[in-house]
Structure 1
């Protein structure tokens, strides 16, 4: 891997092409998308998790994170309580829609080619990251997920393996999850003063639990002078008796590091 430099024209043309292509998939394809929102929770929690809303990041003004929370509040209204019935596909962007000022979205942090900049709706990657992590702890199938190409900030209070998130950009970098089971699953997400909280629920007591972990984590010095971080993500599946029934490969990650590697603590 090596940092790429693309002209503004090429970036704009590529974005336009893939955006139009996605609209065609949504409206002319054969995928059945989830669209039912319930105002009550299904009976059984399959997996739940929370991530902090505020982190101290070097050289990043806190207003980015305050605005992120405003954007999350708007986006969550479109997906909290969504039910994914058997044979349906959850599409992150099809449900949320395009973040615009008219909808109340404000400037937040948008990662851009190894750095960051303000952008309308910025910060929504925290939500897609959470949903991806939740889904890895269920029998649901992740059919589209995009990894972060850059590792922008040092680990700070990270409890999950590197590369266990899903980047998003309207609408061509989507997160899609398919229900290949015989029962419905419901996604519930909400905010507290400190956390973004999410869970998948269903109608029957879960038969399996999942342990997601990384292998082969390493940092390499590349020929062009930069560092790249690598790992692979696996998960162990246990039955109700706690016996391991499967240990399976999920994905691999490669991220160009935009900070000094081998730091023992994160700069505040």
Structure 2
């Protein structure tokens, strides 16, 4: 419980440094450039960190929830993700999952970052805060967007490995629609490969090889 409480503290400190950011054309957003090194001297506490498949306490733990949300929101904009690292382990089953597996982004100070470049002609503002029960955020543009986005997964596969465990694989893609809901694009975003930290369930159309 204390690790969860500390995570909330860490998220509040980090979002305070990011909330309200205006990303102008040609500029690049970097989580670590804005948040800096999370240290106890800056008020950060020990939160839960996933390290090589194990949960351990670490100063600044829980900030991956921030990078996950910003990455997911960015996929629904024309902004370009120029640096993103996938999680190496799939921690939780799909029962309570609200987004496709592999649609997050991990961060580790200071060499694993999330960076986003504004290659459009308009400025974007990042609004993000810790709400009553959730981390909340939004990218806002000074001009209405001429298209909408739908992020989905394809090529979902579970493989049993030689060492006895399982790995999960998929591809993240993005459909684009104009304001009349006509599809105008379907782009590859990324592919994911992660070690599963739970026994796979064979329901839901998953295939195990």
TM-score, normalised on structure 2?
0.95
* Greater percentage in strand: 2
Listed one character per residue, the Cα deviations across residues 3-59 of structure 1 (whole Å, up to 9, x for unaligned) are: xxxxxxxxxxxxxxxxxxxxxxxxxxxxxxxxxxxxxxxxxxxxxxxxxxxxxxxxx
> What SS does the aligned partner of 2:102 have?
coil
Asked whether 1:76 is paired with 2:15, we answer: yes
Of structures 1 and 2, the one scoring higher in RCO (CA 8 A, sep 6+) is 1
- Root mean square deviation of aligned Cα: 1.1
Q: Any idea what SS the aligned residue of 1:233 has?
A: strand
Structure with greater Cα Rg: 1
Whether the aligned pair in 2 keeps the contact of 1:67 and 1:108 (CA below 8 Å) is: yes
Q: Does structure 2 conserve the Cα–Cα contact (< 8 Å) formed by 1:216 and 1:231?
A: yes
Gaps of 5+ in 1: 1-61
- Give the corresponding residue for 1:44: none
1:78 is displaced (CA, Å) by: 0.6
CA distance in 2, matches of 1:234, 1:131: 17
Alignment partner of 1:66 is 2:5: yes
* Structure 2 residues not aligned, in runs of 5+: 204-209
Aligned with residue 54 of structure 2, among 101, 107, 115: 115
The equivalent residue for 1:145 is: 84
Runs of 4+ with deviation above 3 angstroms: none
Contact residue 115 and residue 152 of structure 1 kept, 8 A:
no
Give the TM-score normalised by the residue count of structure 1: 0.74
Q: Report the number of matched residues.
A: 203
1:227 corresponding residue in structure 2? 166
User: Within the alignment, does 1:106 sit opposite 2:45 as a pair?
Assistant: yes
Q: 1:78 is paired with a residue of what secondary structure? A: helix
Aligned pairs for 1:1-268 within 5 A: 62-262=1-201
CA distance in 1, matches of 2:88, 2:33: 23
**How far has the Cα of 1:155 moved from its partner?**
3.2
